[in-house]
Amino acid sequence: MPIFDHNRDLLDRFRRGERAALAQVYEYYVDDVAQVARRGFTMEAAGHAYIRGADIEGEHELVQDTFVKAFSAGARASFDGLRPYRPFLLRITKNLMIDRFRARRNAAAAPVDELDEVADTGTQEPEEDLHWRSLSEATAAFVAGLDAESREIVRLRFESELSQDVVAAQLGCSRRRVRTVEHRVKAGLKRHLRRLRPTAGSPKARRDGRYFGRFAAVLRRGRLS
């Protein structure tokens, strides 16, 4: 249910910019924003071009930038509460991702129809598929060394793709605890995978940029057993 439905008091406090109201809205929608930032989306207006999701650092940046824009005085004042807030919020996220895609495209002088959909279609070149395999194996080794709680949160969040709320309910802990463990595991995995990086500046290193940090995508490749 949209957060402002039948809650005029929250809407009024949100539009005034009260800290508690902003925090409540943030907690309610942050997972939705992070999911779009992480997974990407298809931009129909550009001939169904696929806008790739961000790595861990890019995801955090997109989430932050989305809420900075959405919580600005002008954006809060313009929201009347009659429309659902989630589509409004995700449109900001998608616009930010489109702007960044266009900036990268212009820098590389690459047409939209040459967008790489490797992560979704599984049509990597042989060398890239081998690299995915090495990343997946390294990820599996890293996860195997985690404590039992962290492994279970990884399994529920990234293999079963459950929300943080659902995971917290199943494990009998707070959502904050799930988020803290998730962030710690992602940061640890990133450090672990950095050791696999080839020489900086090489063509392979530039290709690796779209793989490192795609934690959920690596786990969904099914090589954690």
Specify the CATH number for the domain of residue 144. 1.10.10.10
Kindly tell me if the per-residue pLDDT of 16 is higher than 80. Answer: yes
> Which percentage of the chain shows pLDDT scores above 70?
71
Kindly tell me if the per-residue pLDDT of 220 is higher than 60. Answer: no
Residue at 118 is within a domain: no
For the ranges 91-100, 118-127, 214-223, the lowest mean pLDDT is seen at 118-127
Q: Are 22 and 14 in contact (CB under 8 A)?
A: yes
Tokens of 114: 């040459």
Q: Are residues 132 and 161 in the same domain?
A: yes
Residue range 85-102: average pLDDT?
90
Q: Are residues 60 and 20 in the same domain?
A: yes
Q: Are residues 107 and 161 in the same domain?
A: no
Q: Are residues 131 and 100 in the same domain?
A: no
Q: Are residues 104 and 131 in the same domain?
A: no
Q: Are residues 105 and 17 in the same domain?
A: yes
Q: Are residues 102 and 23 in the same domain?
A: yes
Residue at 224 is within a domain: no
pLDDT in tens, 26-66: 999 999 999 999 988 887 655 567 888 888 888 889 999 99
Domain of 67, CATH number, reads 1.10.1740.10
Residue at 1 is within a domain: no
DSSP character for 156? I
| Domain final position from 64, 85, 113 | 113
Residue at 160 is within a domain: yes
- Residue identified by tokens 């402002």 is 4
pLDDT in tens, 207-218: 444 444 445 544
pLDDT in tens, 125-176: 444 455 556 777 778 788 888 899 998 998 888 777 678 888 898 899 998 8
Kindly tell me if the per-residue pLDDT of 92 is higher than 90. Answer: yes
- For residue 94, the enclosing domain spans 8-113
Kindly tell me if the per-residue pLDDT of 199 is higher than 60. Answer: no
Q: Which residue has the higher pLDDT, 113 or 76?
A: 76
- Specify which residues 170 forms β-bridges with: none
Distance of CA 52 to the CA centre of its chain: 10
Q: Which residue has the higher pLDDT, 155 or 113?
A: 155
Q: Indicate the Cα dihedral angle 118, 121, 127, 129, nearest 10°.
A: 120
Q: How far apart are CA 16 and CA 185, in angstroms?
A: 37
Q: Are residues 107 and 164 in the same domain?
A: no
Mean pLDDT of the chain: 76
Q: Are residues 31 and 107 in the same domain?
A: yes
CA nearest to 63, candidates 183, 172, 147: 183
CA nearest to 214, candidates 114, 152, 136, 162: 136
How many domains does one find in the chain? Answer: 2
Residue at 119 is within a domain: no
Instruction: Please give the pLDDT value at position 63.
Output: 93
